Amino acid sequence: MENLGALMSKYVYNPNFIESKWQKFWEDEKIFITPTELEKINEKPKMYILDMFPYPSGEGLHVGHAKGYTASDVLSRFWRMRGVNVLHPMGWDSFGLPAERAAEREGIHPAEITERNVNNFRRQMKRIGLSYDWSREIDTSRPEYYKWTQWIFLKLYEKGLAYIADVPVNWCPALSTVLSNEEVYDGKYIETGDIVEKRIMRQWMLKITSYAERLLNDLEGLDWPDSIKELQRNWIGKSVGVNIEFSIKNQEEKFIVFTTRPETIFGVTFCVLSPDHPLLDKIIEKEQLVTVQRYIQDTVSKTNKQRLISSEEATGVFTGSYAINPVNNEEIPIWISDYVLNLYGTGAVMAVPAHDSRDFNFAKKNNLPILQVIKDDNDEEDVKYRSEKGICVNSGFLDGLSIEQARKKIIDWLKVEKKGVQTTQYRLRDWLFSRQRYWGEPFPIVHFQDGTIKTIPPDQLPVTLPEKLEIKFKGGALPLNRASDEWLMVEFPDGKIGFRETNTMPQWAGSCWYYLRFLDPHNNNEPWDSRLEKYWMPVDIYIGGIEHAVLHLLYSRFWHKVLYDCGLVSTNEPFKKLFNQGLLLAQSFQDERGKYYYANQVEKFNNNWVVKNTKEPVKTKMDKMSKSKLNVVSLDDVVNKYGADSLRLYELFIGPMSAGGPWQMDGIDGIYRFLQKVWRIFVDERTGELDKRIVNCQDSEDPELGKELYKSLKIITDKIIDIDKMNVAVSQLMILSTQLQKRQKVPIGIAKQFVKLLSPFAPHISEEIWQKLGEKGTILKASWPIENSDMLIEHAVKIAIQVDGKFRSVIEIPLNCSEKTIIEKALQDEVIVRFVQQKDILNTFVVDKKIVNFVTK
Ligand code: ANZ
């Protein structure tokens, strides 16, 4: 690569020239535009191929982002060549905190920052030849888009799925906003690591829990990776169990526990309430008051996740009160512990330390009794008992029963005694849907002094963000509270004056339905035309990062189902097939003190990596690309050096789509050489004309090459459709190109088919060669080669031929031939002709399409 400049003669492979030429052509000729008029699209089958649209960050795209985009682009180009209507749009998920923080830093409006970033993203995407229909570009932070986000919110509100409640929230003091449970991990905001604490606040909530069962069941029919389905199932977390009522000794009060193991109830030796259980005020005994209060103070600030994670080291205190076990009236101590979550079940558990490991740890630590109630013959004494198998012991009227029998019996008993009911619990919580930020969708909601609220009528949407708001985000108050009275105060026709809601929607809102807006992006009268929706939905292939496995995919499925219930969409799921691309890694360089270096600051010295000037040794590792590790490989750098086609091929070649892999510069060198080789097969570098070896003759003049071509066609077609193994398709192109290169003469038909196969992967060089082959217009309008099974000798079977039971010959025939054809071919075999020449054939048997036996006189 070093001396590329010096080598440059006019007609050598020059990606910069070719690529900008064809990108301009595609744009001028509107090649990627999918008609919006139904009449123009209706007769043909469709493919809606969607990338998860990005948040337009200030850093722009790096090579890791381009992997999924390249794969979806290959698919889009491939399906277009197969004559299918392809919808392949792109847009921006542009509301959100980072733009607001950048605005704060730079003192300019987030809209301006967003626009700047969007322009950069769009430029980069065009530069790598992605075939998006840019006439459909959408941007979630533009009023003409968020008008409809607000409109859908009104639908949710009308259906009783949006409500205001005082809820414990994750409050992030550094960002002065609340965050959803999903955005918090280990007590920190997942994006920035800022500490998050618990507070009670009045917030908008969405009742996603009403859809828990459908969100769970409908996973069944989706062509999604099992791992993602499993993550969604776990997030929804369905448990079937029983709510059991425990009364409190010497008090009127009762509390309810949720258990999935009611048959263990005789083994309950204590109960545990969560530290924020509402009953605590009433049941704490005087002598325990100080201890308990101190304990509560300590634990309530922990988030649920922290509490779950630390269940091994669960702490707790005794309340001084006792509960009564409903089955045997035994008195059991009531404890408080942070291993019981207030937001799950009823926030109270009946502890069975013999059969539950959390209860066991807690009992051991606090010297509480442990009573075995399920016995399995394999149990050893004094270790934790198994609880999945065995029969009930020490369990009164359940003794001797199997777990299943006991469960049924105790549930019936509890029902008759009115002490318990069967119930289903979900781990999923309602979705906390408001944020105390500026850069988000305003709610179409007005509050009145008397505490009532009204919605803004749909024909008055959008409620736009106050433009002139002084952007000074620091400080606790809601930014929108500082808007002018003109914005804040709303007068209704009845003369009533109210105040606008000053929370904004979370970033997830805009991405919940964007795939629908792409169908009809410029419609000002409705969010989409229902006829277009019926034609295009569902999304056929949705490609994106694994980081969206739970939240975005769950939230958008939820909204989609609500829209379905409103009769606004015709499918009950939005994304039929989902594909997650793997993560690309890049080499990082770090010295002993932990300081990172850019790749251009280090060099190999005596076979070790060292810092260029100081020769200090550095360790090198394949790492996730990140700004802090200085190992982000910039897309623009790679394209500058190698061109878009090399980048695209390398993105796919690196490894299976789902696996990701290490980005290596010498790897892309090899790809570049491959494209140079392809160029030289077709182009005479002295003249720039089509190489003389490409000749006008029948394909059948080189049957061997024909065979290779059709074998490759099959592999490449399969691997494109399969998505995951596009790397195999690329290597097949390499194999095929070597075959072409070896020839003195290449039939022009075969040459053209090769270029077609290459074109989804490396579209620019393919268009250029296509033109040199004498074709007009874009190769996208050419049709994908049709499989020719006669040529596919590799996909043939061997058939043994016997005459009178004796093996005589073997022939090769295409797979799936009829018996008649097999016999015909067998009779044409030279050897067989000799054996049956003078004889009559009495009978012919074909066994399993593997053996032919001729019986002669
Ligand atoms: C008695 C028992 C005996 C339990 C036994 C388990 C095993 P899943 O399957 O995750 O739904 N539990 C109930 N509410 C809880 C809360 N708010 N915080 C922490 N733990 C809670 O788990 C249900 C089980 O988790 C329930 O069944 C309860 O313990 C506990 F051998 O009750 B079990």
pLDDT given at position 270: 98
Spacing, Cα 352 to ligand 1 middle (Å):
9
**Binning pLDDT at 50, 70 and 90, where does residue 190 land?**
confident
Spacing, Cα 387 to ligand 1 middle (Å):
13
Q: Which atom of ligand 1 is nearest to the CA of 342?
A: 17
DSSP H/E element including 561: helix 551-565
pLDDT given at position 6: 46
Spacing, Cα 337 to ligand 1 middle (Å):
14
Spacing, Cα 749 to ligand 1 middle (Å):
69
Closest Cα to residue 769, out of 743, 751, 750?
751
Site of tokens 């999903």: 182
Whole-structure pTM value: 0.85
Which of 260, 276, 340 to mutate to test ligand 1, by most ligand atoms within 8 A of the CB atom?
260
**What is the C-alpha to C-alpha distance for residues 402 and 389, in angstroms, rounded to an integer?**
8
Q: Would the pLDDT of 425 be above 50?
A: yes
User: Are the CB atoms for 773 and 689 separated by under 8 Å?
Assistant: no
User: Are the CB atoms for 800 and 810 separated by under 8 Å?
Assistant: yes
Which of 259, 274, 339 to mutate to test ligand 1, by most ligand atoms within 8 A of the CB atom?
259
User: Are the CB atoms for 517 and 527 separated by under 8 Å?
Assistant: yes
DSSP of 684-714, one letter per residue?
A: -TTT-SBPTTEE-S-GGG-HHHHHHHHHHHH
Chain segment 22-42, per-residue pLDDT in tens: 999 999 999 999 988 877 777
Site of tokens 């932070």: 141
Structure tokens, 571: 């499918």
**Binning pLDDT at 50, 70 and 90, where does residue 713 land?**
very high
Structure tokens, 791: 């040529």
Half-sphere exposure (Cβ direction) of 649: Cα atoms closer than 13 Å? 27
Spacing, Cα 551 to ligand 1 middle (Å):
25
Q: Lowest-pLDDT range, 10-24, 104-118, 167-181, 731-745?
A: 167-181
Q: Would the pLDDT of 53 be above 50?
A: yes
**538 prior amide bond cis, ω within 30:** yes
Letter for the amino acid at 619? K
Indicate which residue's Cα is closest to atom 2 of ligand 1. 261
Find the mean pLDDT for residues 8-15.
86
pLDDT given at position 805: 84
Chain segment 83-98, per-residue pLDDT in tens: 999 999 999 999 988 8
Spacing, Cα 401 to ligand 1 middle (Å):
22
Indicate which residue's Cα is closest to atom 14 of ligand 1. 345
Q: How many CB atoms lie within 10 A of CB 460?
A: 11
Q: Lowest-pLDDT range, 363-367, 434-438, 765-769?
A: 434-438
Residue 466: strand pairing partners: none
Report phi then psi at 523, rounded to 5. -75, 120
User: In sequence order, what are the residues at sequence separation of 6 or more whose Cβ sits closer than 8 angstroms to the Cβ of residue 321?
Assistant: 248, 249, 251, 283, 284, 285, 333, 334
pLDDT given at position 472: 56
Q: Which atom of ligand 1 is nearest to the CA of 268?
A: 1
Find the mean pLDDT for residues 517-524.
96
pLDDT given at position 296: 85
Spacing, Cα 362 to ligand 1 middle (Å):
14
Which of 256, 335, 349 to mutate to test ligand 1, by most ligand atoms within 8 A of the CB atom?
349
Q: Which atom of ligand 1 is nearest to the CA of 259?
A: 27
Ramachandran quadrant class, 396 (left: phi over 0; alpha: psi -120 to 50; beta: rest): left
Find the mean pLDDT for residues 3-22.
80
Chain segment 279-315, per-residue pLDDT in tens: 998 999 999 999 998 888 877 666 555 555 455 678 8
pLDDT given at position 8: 56
pLDDT given at position 484: 87
pLDDT given at position 306: 54
Letter for the amino acid at 533? E
Task: Name all residues whose Cβ lies below 6 A of ligand 1.
Answer: 239, 258-261, 264, 340-341, 344-345, 347, 349-350, 352, 355-356, 387, 425
Spacing, Cα 397 to ligand 1 middle (Å):
23
Site of tokens 């016997």: 802
Which DSSP letter does residue 259 get? E
Give the CA angle between residues 392, 397, 399 to the nearest 5°.
Answer: 25
Rg (Cα) of the chain, in Å, rounded?
34
Mean of the per-residue pLDDT values for the chain?
91
Chain segment 390-413, per-residue pLDDT in tens: 999 999 999 999 999 999 999 999
User: In sequence order, what are the residues at sequence separation of 6 or more whose Cβ sits closer than 8 angstroms to the Cβ of residue 410?
Assistant: 262, 263, 265, 327, 398
Q: Lowest-pLDDT range, 244-258, 383-397, 430-444, 553-567?
A: 383-397
Which of 261, 270, 358, 371 to mutate to test ligand 1, by most ligand atoms within 8 A of the CB atom?
261
Spacing, Cα 722 to ligand 1 middle (Å):
42
pLDDT given at position 179: 81
Spacing, Cα 354 to ligand 1 middle (Å):
13
User: Which stretches of 366-430 are assigned E, i.e. beta strand?
Assistant: 374-375, 391-392, 420-426
Chain segment 468-509, per-residue pLDDT in tens: 665 554 545 678 888 888 999 999 999 999 999 999 999 999
User: Are the CB atoms for 430 and 168 separated by under 8 Å?
Assistant: no
User: Are the CB atoms for 800 and 851 separated by under 8 Å?
Assistant: yes
**Binning pLDDT at 50, 70 and 90, where does residue 812 land?**
confident
Spacing, Cα 555 to ligand 1 middle (Å):
27
User: Are the CB atoms for 851 and 799 separated by under 8 Å?
Assistant: yes
Chain segment 785-807, per-residue pLDDT in tens: 987 766 554 456 788 899 988 88
**225 prior amide bond cis, ω within 30:** no
Indicate which residue's Cα is closest to atom 20 of ligand 1. 340
Q: What sign results for the dihedral spanned by CA atoms 425, 430, 431, 435?
A: negative
pLDDT given at position 309: 47
**What is the C-alpha to C-alpha distance for residues 478 and 177, in angstroms, rounded to an integer?**
8
pLDDT given at position 312: 65
pLDDT given at position 468: 62
Chain segment 320-355, per-residue pLDDT in tens: 999 999 999 999 999 999 899 888 899 999 999 999
